[in-house]
Amino acid sequence: MSKLKIPVQTVHSGILQENAVMLGDKSMKRLKIPAHGTIQLNFGSFRQEVTVIPVPKSDSLRVSEALGRRLGLRQRLTLNASYSTGSRILRLGPMIGVLVSRDHPEQPERVFGQITMFCRELTHACHAQGAYVYFFTPEALESRTTTIQGWVYDEGWRKLSLPVADVINNRLTTRKVENKPSVQHFLADVKSRYGTHFFNEKFLDKTEVFEALALDPALQRYLPESHALNGLAILKKMCSSYPSVFLKPVRGSLGKGILRISKEAGGGYQLLSTTPMGTRKQSYSSLAKLFQAIAPKMKTTRFQIQQGLSLMELGRRPVDFRALVQKNGTGKWGVTSIVARTAGSNHFVSNLARGGTLSTVKEAVGKSSLPAGVKESTQIQLPRAALAIARGVETYIPAHFGELGIDLALDQSGRIWLLEVNSKPSKNDNTPLNDQKIRPSVKQMILYCRYLAGL
C-alpha cells in the first residue's frame, strides 16, 4: 500500500463530472494508480467509484464541486492518501469526528462553550497532519441517516452534511447523554457497518476502576483501601483502621461532593465537605450520628469509602499529580504530561475548579519536605505508575480508551498512590491554551486516530 499527502481542491462542476477526479501524474505514479482506470474513492464512510484523469505537472487531487459537497470539502486542504492496488481503493483522511455534549449556534465565537479553543486547535493540528476533523452533538444522531450534521472550522464555524468519520472521540460530559438510546444505537451501528473506531467510549466509575485494578498484583501497591459505602458497618471498620477516610461520589468529578471524616481529639468525629466557597466543617459525637447526617445523600449518590492519605503538602496545602496518558502513533500508551496541583486555601481537594494551582512536578517536589533521594526518584516513578495504571485499565475494563487522566498522590514518605482515573480528561488543565501553539496532547490524539484508521 502506497501513502502520501495530497492537496485536494474543488473545481467547477462544468469542468469535471461527479464520477471523475483529476490527479497529478506524479502522485499517480507514487501511489501506483492506473491512468483512466476506475477506482473506489473512500473518505470516512463515503464510497464512490470514480474515473481517474491524469494531469501533467500537478500534485493535487481535483474533484467537482458536487462531489466536494458530498465529501464535506469546501476549501483547499492537504490530506493523507493511501492506495491499495489489490482492492483499487483510494482512501483520504483520516476523517475524525468528535462527539461533544452541546453546541451554541447563536454564539459563533463560542460554538462549543469552554472547549471552543480546543476545537479550533484540533482543527489546525489536523490540517498540519493531513487529517480532517468535525464536531457533532447527540442531536445530530436523532434522525437515522447515513450522513451527520457536523461543525467544521474554516475562517468561522459552519455546519455541513458529512460522512460518518473513520474514528470518533467521545467528549460527552455527562453519563445521561452518553447513555441515550440514540447515541448507543449510532455507535453500535457505525462500528458494525463502517468499521468506525470509537475511543473513550464510556465514563469510568471509581468503584469499577479500583476493583478492576485490584485484580493485578503489580498494581495493588498503588491502591488505597477502598470499598463501596453500603452502610454504617463499613464506615466503622474503615474509621477504626485509619485516622481519616474519604467518601467520594462513585460518579463524581471536579472534586464535587467529596467528604472527609476524621477522628477528633475529644473522641468525636469531624466531617469536612467541599462547597464552592470553601470547606464546611461539622462535628458529631459519634459515627452513628455522623452516618445519620450523610444517609440522605446516599439515597441519591453512591459513595466509595477510601483510606485517607497523609499527602505531600506545600504551605500546608495538599498536592496531587494529574498525568495525561495517551495512545501514540503506534497504538502504545505514553505519558504526554504530568502536572502538580496544589489545593486552594480553605480546600482539601486540588481541582482547579476548587481554586487549585498548577506547577511542574520538579517545582512541587523540589519545594516539598520529602527526603532528597525520594525527590529524585519521583520524576521516574510517577510516569511509570501512570503507565502501569493505564495498561491495567485497558486490560481489566472492557472498553476502548485512547487517553486517560490519572490522578496520583505522594504521601509524606514518597509512596505513590492512585486517587482516580478519568476517561474524559479536561482539555484545559495540562498546559495553557495558546492560539499559536498546538499542544503535544492534541498532536498525540491525531497520531492515534491516524494509527487506528491506517492513514
Residue 259 vs residue 431, higher pLDDT: 259
Whether the CB-CB separation of 17 and 99 falls below 8 Å is answered with: no
CATH of domain 2-93: 2.40.40.20
CATH topology of domain 311-423: D-amino Acid Aminotransferase; Chain A, domain 1 (3.30.470)
Task: Report CA-CA distances (Å) from 248 to 243, 305, 349, 420.
Answer: 17, 7, 11, 10
> In the structure grid, which three cell numbers stand for residue 276, read together?
464552592
Integer angstrom CA distances of residue 334 from 347, 390, 426: 31, 9, 17
Convert the pLDDT of each residue in 87-133 to its tens digit: 999 999 999 999 999 999 999 889 999 899 999 999 999 999 999 99
> What is the model's pLDDT at position 433?
45
- The mean pLDDT of 38-49, rounded to a whole number, is 96
Q: What's the pLDDT tens digit per position in 186-231?
A: 999 999 999 999 999 999 988 899 999 999 999 999 999 999 999 9
Per-residue pLDDT, 352: 43
pLDDT > 90? residue 372: no
Residues belonging to the chain: 455
Residue 46 has pLDDT above 90, yes or no: yes
Give the distance from CA 229 to its chain's centroid.
28
The CATH architecture assigned to 96-199 reads 3-Layer(aba) Sandwich (3.40)
The cell numbers describing 58, all together, are: 500537478
Phi and psi torsions of 132, nearest 5°: -130, 130
Q: What is the domain partition of the chain in residue ranges?
A: 2-93, 96-199, 225-307, 311-423
Stretch 429-437: mean pLDDT, rounded? Answer: 52
Indicate if 311-423 has the same CATH topology as 2-93: no
Residue 47: alpha-carbon gap to chain centroid: 29
What whole-number distance in Å separates Cα of residue 451 and Cα of residue 455?
A: 6
How far apart (Å, rounded) are the C-alpha atoms in residues 275 and 254? 12
Q: For residue 434, how many other CB atoms are within 10 A of its CB?
A: 10
Q: Does 348 score more than 90 pLDDT? A: no
How far from chain centre, in Å, is Cα 408?
A: 18
Statement: residue 435 has pLDDT above 60: no
CB-based contacts of 36: which residues, under 8 Å, 6+ apart?
Answer: 51, 52, 53, 54
pLDDT in tens, 229-263: 999 999 999 999 999 999 998 887 656 788 999 99
Question: Quick check: bond before 94 cis, omega within 30?
Answer: yes
Supply the pLDDT for residue 428.
57
* pLDDT, tens only, 153-164: 988 999 999 999
- The answer, yes or no, to whether residue 351 has pLDDT greater than 60, is no
Nearest Cα to Cα of residue 167 among 70, 114, 237, 97 = 97
- Between 41 and 274, the more confident residue is 41
Task: Give residue 350's pLDDT band: very low, low, confident or very high (50, 70, 90).
Answer: very low
CA 202 from centre of chain: 10
Residue 143 confidence (pLDDT): 74
pLDDT in tens, 55-77: 998 889 999 999 999 999 977 89
Residue with cell 467537482: 64
Q: Give one DSSP letter per residue of 79-123, joined into a string.
A: EEEEEETTTTEEEEE-EEEEEES---TT-GGGTTGGGHHHHHHHH
Is residue 292 over pLDDT 90? yes
Please report the DSSP string for 187-252 in residue order: HHHHHHHH--EEES-S---HHHHHHHHTTSTTTGGG---EEE--SHHHHHHHHHHSSEEEEEETT-
CA distance 138 to 262: 43
pLDDT at 436: 60
Quote the CA–CA distance of 228 and 304 in Å, as a whole number: 5
Q: What would the grid cell of residue 260 be? A: 472527609
Residue 211 CB coordination number (10 Å) = 17
pLDDT at res. 275 = 73
pLDDT at residue 336, rounded to an integer:
95
Q: Is the pLDDT of residue 430 over 50?
A: no
The helix/strand count (H/E) of the chain reads as: 11, 25
Nearest to 408 by CA among 433, 387, 435, 434: 387
